Amino acid sequence: MDTSEQRIKIALQKSGRLTDHSLDLLARCGLKFTQSKDQLFCYGENMPVDLLLVRDDDIPGLVSEDVCDLGIAGLNVIHEKRLALHQNGSTALFDQIYALDFGHCRLAIAAPEEADYGGPKSLQNTRIATSYVAILEDFLQREGVDADIVYLSGAVEIAPRLGRADFICDLVSSGSTLAANHLREVQTVMKSEAVIIQTREPLSEVKQEWVNRILQRLDGVLQARESKYVMLHAPRSALAEIVALLPGAESPTIIPLDGDNDKVAVHAVCRESDFWETLENLKSAGASSLLVLPVEKMLL
If phi > 0 it is left, if psi is from -120 to 50 it is alpha, else beta; for residue 36 that is beta
56 binds Zn ion (CB under 5 A): yes
The stretch among 54-62, 202-210, 219-227, 245-253 that binds ligand PRT (CB under 6 A) is 54-62
Dist. CA 72–CA 236, nearest whole Å = 49
By beta-carbon proximity to Zn ion, the closer residue of 129 and 246 is 129
- Least distance from ligand PRT to the Cβ atom of residue 93, Å: 21
Query: Which 169-188 residues touch ligand PRT, going by CB under 6 A?
Result: 170-177
Task: Kindly give the pairing relationship between strand 94-99 and strand 194-199.
Answer: antiparallel
- Least distance from ligand PRT to the Cβ atom of residue 59, Å: 8
Work out what residue 177 binds among ligand PRT, Zn ion, none; the CB cut-off runs from 5 to 8 Å by kind. Answer: ligand PRT
By beta-carbon proximity to Zn ion, the closer residue of 18 and 230 is 18
189 binds ligand PRT (CB under 6 A): no
CA distances to 124, 156, 188 from 119, in Å: 10, 21, 11
Q: Under rule CB under 5 A, how many of the chain's residues touch Zn ion?
A: 2
By beta-carbon proximity to Zn ion, the closer residue of 131 and 199 is 131
| SS3 of 261-296 | EEEEEEEEEEECCCCHHHHHHHHHCCCEEEEEEECC
| Helix 19-28, helix 205-226: angle, nearest 10 | 100
3-class DSSP state of 121 = helix
CA atoms within 13 A on the CB side of 277: 4
By beta-carbon proximity to ligand PRT, the closer residue of 105 and 246 is 105
Q: Under rule CB under 6 A, how many of the chain's residues touch ligand PRT?
A: 21
Binding mask 102-131 for ligand PRT (x = CB under 6 A): -x-x--------------------------
Residues 6+ apart with CB under 8 A from 173: 104, 105, 106
- The site for ligand PRT (CB under 6 A) is made up of 13, 16-18, 55-57, 74, 76-77, 103, 105, 170-177, 192
